[in-house]
Amino acid sequence: MVREIENVAGIPVVQIATIVPIMLTVGANRIVPGVAIPHPVGDPTREGEGDRAVRRQLLERALKAIMTPIEEQTVFTS
């Protein structure tokens, strides 16, 4: 789906998911590593504000990734 949206609609996509090697294998271009398979975009083990901070950080990283011009598959870890 990630590749099709980029190919057909020409809209850049950033994928947040946990297992980065799989995303590299399937050909996602902008990759933001998620937290864990049951909770990729948050960390319920860090309650309340801790979880909220993780989620905000991931979202901001994803927005940064989507605005960054790239030439090859890129994993955004910061």
Partner 1 sequence: MRLELHKVRIENVSWGETTEVRRGTLSINREEMLAVAMEEPRFAHAELEITRPGESVRIIPVKDVIEPRCKLSGPGEVFPGFVGGTCTVGEGSTLVLEGAAVVTSGSIVAFQEGLIDMSGPAAVYSPFSRTNNVVLVVEPVQGIDQHSYEAALREAGFRLAWYLADKSREAEVDEVKVYEMEGPVKESFKYPHLPRVAYFCMSITQGLLHDTFLYGADMKHLVPTLIHPNEKMDGAMVSGNCVSSCDKNTTWHHLNDPIVEELYERHGKDLVFLGVIPTLEDTRLAGKERTSSFNANLARSLGADGVVISEEGYGNPDTDLCMNAAKCEKLGIKTVVISDEAAGTDGRSQGLADATPEITAFVSTGNVNEMVELPPMDRVIGHDGSISNLSGGAEESLREDGSMFVELQAIIGSTNELGFSRIGARWV
Check binding of 37 to partner 1 (CB under 8 A).
yes
Edge to edge, what strands does the sheet with 74-75 contain?
14-17, 30-33, 74-75
The verdict on 77 binding partner 1 (CB under 8 A) reads no
Closest CB to partner 1 among residues 21, 48: 21
- In the complex with partner 1, the residue whose CB is nearer, 11 or 37, is 37
- Read off φ and ψ for residue 38, nearest 5 degrees: -70, -20
Residue pair 44/33 in contact (Cβ under 8 Å)? The answer is: no
Q: Which stretch binds partner 1 (CB under 8 A): 6-14, 17-25, 52-60, 63-71?
A: 17-25
Is 20 among the residues that bind partner 1 (CB under 8 A)?
Answer: yes
Q: Are 35 and 42 in contact (CB under 8 A)?
A: yes
